[in-house]
């Protein structure tokens, strides 16, 4: 029997994430623990927490899981693992160990799907040099999978949301469009080629990008995931008290992502993300509406958004291209804090 995980997800990608505004409101009321060894917490809306063990070592902790983003269980496992591990890379860390988190409907899916998801996760984690040493499963429908990951980072070399400085250029390492192509796939509008390209990028570890960041001593970065390029740019801008200008026309796109948006293939979560960013965003008068909505597209296992000192940007781009990240591009710049935190133009 051919297993189709996508066919099991009833509500579509729209509802997979709590709306960010609601989440912020809730988190406001939860006290943050105070401890000098907590080097990074939710305060800067970073990708992972960082805890200092000693002057040479800090632990990077992160977890992430979600319902299927493709039909094949093995590929789903690979993508979910790449996505979970990505947060460690975005902090400048090296992923070391992980635990599986699985929700699986044993009455509705053959157990071979369960095994395939785990093997996909195991293979991707191995590629990242990460050992999966345990996990936890509960019955749930539809299935969900991800990892809780622990990484190492030197306490003096943490890369955070707060590291963007005026004069920096912004580099994005993967093209955008995974959210809307998944929606297009459900609608029967996305081509096979686009679906394959999208899966290729979702499976691609941010390991190479992280190595380049470390080599050049980059201080500010995040990975672009559920809040879209605009949402994650906003988090960076707030954390660093700077403004980010994005040239949407320069943003690399997967396949025919633009055509899909132009035909109205805009997932609901894009509007949630727009609602999250718009009060603190400036949109240029002539901004192409399709490009604006691409900036809101929720990414699964998206690329790194790095803030790179202007004079290093050229060499960083050529290193990324040489390392195989051929779609990496300069997509904007960092300025002193202006009226709005982020600005989108064509």
Q: State the residues that interact with other proteins by CB under 8 A.
A: 10-12, 14, 183, 186-187, 189, 263-268, 271, 274, 289
Instruction: Give min distance, CB of 13 to other proteins, in A.
Output: 9
Residue 331 and residue 247 in contact, taking contact as beta carbons nearer than 8 Å: yes
* CB-CB contact of 226 with 269 (8 Å): yes
- The nearer residue to other proteins, 97 or 287, going by C-beta atoms, is 287
Residue closest to 130 by CA, chosen among 49, 205, 39, 213:
205
Residue 154: partners with Cβ closer than 8 Å, 6 or more residues away: 56, 57, 58
3, 8, 14, 23: the catalytic one is: 14
Task: Tell me which residue of 101, 160, 158, 157 sits closest to 125, measured CA to CA.
Answer: 101
Asked if residue 192 lies in contact with residue 241, where contact means CB atoms within 8 angstroms, the answer is no
| H or E stretch at 50 | strand 49-52
CB of 16 to other proteins, least distance (A): 12
Residue with tokens 């006290």, as numbered in its chain: 31
Name the minimum Å distance from CB 206 to other proteins: 28
- Contacts by 192-197, CB closer than 8 A, 24 or more apart: 193/255, 194/254, 194/255, 194/256, 194/257, 194/260, 195/70, 197/254, 197/255
Residue 80 CA to residue 70 CA, distance in Å, equals 10
Helices (H), the chain: 20-28, 73-90, 111-127, 178-186, 192-203, 207-215, 228-240, 257-262, 268-277, 289-295, 313-322
- Considering beta carbons, is residue 93 or 179 the nearer one to other proteins? 179
Closer CB to other proteins, 11 or 241, in the complex? 11
Q: Does residue 267 contact residue 297 with C-beta atoms inside 8 Å?
A: yes
* Smallest separation (angstroms) from other proteins to the CB of 139: 25
| CB closer to other proteins out of 268 and 310 | 268
Half-sphere exposure of 262 (CA within 13 A, CB side): 5
Decide if 14 is catalytic. Answer: yes
Give the Cα separation of 239 and 260 in Å (integer).
33
Residue (135 or 268) nearer to other proteins, CB: 268
Residue whose C-alpha is closest to residue 14's, from 194, 182, 231: 182
**Shortest reach from residue 83's CB to other proteins, in Å:** 22
**Least distance (Å) from other proteins to the CB of residue 91?**
33
CB of 319 to other proteins, least distance (A): 38
| SS3 of residue 302 by DSSP | coil
Sign of CA pseudo-dihedral 307, 230, 301, 39: positive
Judged by beta carbon, residue 11 or residue 346, the one nearer other proteins is: 11
Active site residues: 14
């Amino acid at each position: 029997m051919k297993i189709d995980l996508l066919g099991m997800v009833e509500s579509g990608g729209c509802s997979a994430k709590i709306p960010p505004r609601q989440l912020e409101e809730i988190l406001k009321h939860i006290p943050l623990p105070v401890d000098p060894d907590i080097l990074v917490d939710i305060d800067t809306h970073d990708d992972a927490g960082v805890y200092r063990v000693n002057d040479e070592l800090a632990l990077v902790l992160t977890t992430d899981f979600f319902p299927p983003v493709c039909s094949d269980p093995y590929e789903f496992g690979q993508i979910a693992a790449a996505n979970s591990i990505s947060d460690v890379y975005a902090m400048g860390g090296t992923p070391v160990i992980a635990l599986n988190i699985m929700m699986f409907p044993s009455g509705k899916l053959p157990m071979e799907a369960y095994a395939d998801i785990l093997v996909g996760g195991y293979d991707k984690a191995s590629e990242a040099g990460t050992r999966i040493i345990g996990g936890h499963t509960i019955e749930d429908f539809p299935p969900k999978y991800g990892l809780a990951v622990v990484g190492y980072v030197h306490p003096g070399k943490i890369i955070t949301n707060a590291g963007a400085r005026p004069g920096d250029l912004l580099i994005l390492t993967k093209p955008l469009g995974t959210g809307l192509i998944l929606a297009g796939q459900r609608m029967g509008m996305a081509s096979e080629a686009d679906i394959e390209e999208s899966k290729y990028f979702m499976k691609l570890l941010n390991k190479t990008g992280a190595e380049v960041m470390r080599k050049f001593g980059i201080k500010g970065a995040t990975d672009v995931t559920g809040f879209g390029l605009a949402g994650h740019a906003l988090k960076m801008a707030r954390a660093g008290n700077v403004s980010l200008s994005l040239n949407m026309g320069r943003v690399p796109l997967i396949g025919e992502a633009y055509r899909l948006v132009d035909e109205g293939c805009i997932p609901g979560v894009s509007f949630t993300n727009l609602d999250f960013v718009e009060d603190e965003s400036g949109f240029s008068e002539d901004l192409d509406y399709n490009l604006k909505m691409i900036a809101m597209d929720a990414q699964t296992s998206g690329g790194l958004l790095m803030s790179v000192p202007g004079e290093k940007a050229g060499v960083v781009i050529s290193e990324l291209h040489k390392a195989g990240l051929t779609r990496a591009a300069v997509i904007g710049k960092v300025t002193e804090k202006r009226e709005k935190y982020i600005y989108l133009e064509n």
